[in-house]
Amino acid sequence: MNKNSSLLRLYFIAGSQDCRHLPGDPARHLLNILQKALQAGISCFQFRDKGPGSLQQDRRKQYQLAEQCRDLCRRHQVPFIVNDDVEMGLAIEADGLHTGQSDTRIEKIIRHAPPHLILGLSINNQAQALAAEKLERIDYFGVGPIFPTQSKADAQAAVGPEFIAALRRQGIRKPIVAIGGINQENLPQLRHKGAQGIALISAITRAENIQQRVQQLLKIQID
Ligand code: TZP
Ligand code: MG
């Protein structure tokens, strides 16, 4: 799997909890949405099944869904990343692992992850970025929330698009994917701030037409 930062261009994140607004089985909806998003050209997918409405209480079903998502991503040669759950990521041979500041510690992940795995870390302030910039093994930062988000119950306050430009001025060189409350309307505000791409949940999972939405997002250049 390539670790080129172009994989960050349109980074889709979702779990079963993000498909609860649709009637019926959320796992089936997630697979359906992912399939359409892959066909339309997302560059990366992160399986993030956690929090209220997720399959966290049913590990068997959760693993089954993760494996189905992985297989869809493989078919489209799009990297499949697992959020936070190192055990799952290694067991199902994900292409990468992503962790947050209050999740499994990145140092622990670095110790366990084989060298080919893509490693991402969430960043919400300058001190976190400066500390993690020194860890060579980290491939990219997920920076945000840029705008207020409805998709993460314990989200920090929004940092705004200018925060990315500020990180670049402070010497942060790692590839950055901007995350949190990003949609087709506010996306132009991220132009020329220094991010390699955007990560989104609801702008894709809640779109009327998934393919059209992904194509629309891909047309808006930010760097
Ligand atoms: N981390 C920071 S904001 C966020 C995560 C997982 C949620 C992003 O979801 P949305 O719907 O694109 O705001
Ligand atoms: Mg997290």
Complex ipTM value: 0.95
Residue to probe by mutation, ligand 1, list 152, 176, 183, most atoms within 8 Å of CB:
152
Domains of the chain, with CATH numbers?
5-222 (3.20.20.70)
Q: Is the CB of 205 inside a 6 Å radius of any atom of ligand 1? A: no
Does the active-site annotation cover 152?
Answer: yes
Which two tokens mark 60? 């068997």
141 is in an annotated binding site: no
Q: How far apart, in Å, are the Cα atoms of 146 and each of 87, 97, 132, 167, 193? A: 29, 21, 19, 13, 12
Tens-level pLDDT at each residue, the chain (223 residues): 567 779 999 999 999 999 999 999 999 999 999 999 999 999 999 999 999 999 999 999 999 999 999 999 999 999 999 999 999 999 999 999 999 998 889 999 999 999 999 999 999 999 999 999 999 999 999 999 999 999 998 889 999 999 999 999 999 999 999 999 999 999 999 999 999 999 999 999 999 999 999 999 999 988 8
6 is in an annotated binding site: no
Tens digit of each residue's pLDDT (9 = 90 or more) over 136-153? 999 999 999 999 999 998
Closest atom of ligand 1 to 147 CA is: 13
Name the active-site residue from 43, 70, 122, 213. Answer: 122
Q: What is the pLDDT of residue 2?
A: 66
**With helix as H, strand as E and coil as C, how does 36-93 read?**
HHHHHCCCEEEECCCCCCCCCCCHHHHHHHHHHHHHHHHHCCCCEEEECCHHHHHHCC
Does the active-site annotation cover 48?
Answer: yes
Tens digit of each residue's pLDDT (9 = 90 or more) over 60-70? 999 999 999 99
Does the active-site annotation cover 122?
Answer: yes
Name the active-site residue from 9, 16, 36, 48. Answer: 48
C-alpha atoms less than 13 angstroms from C-alpha of 158 in its C-beta half-sphere: 13
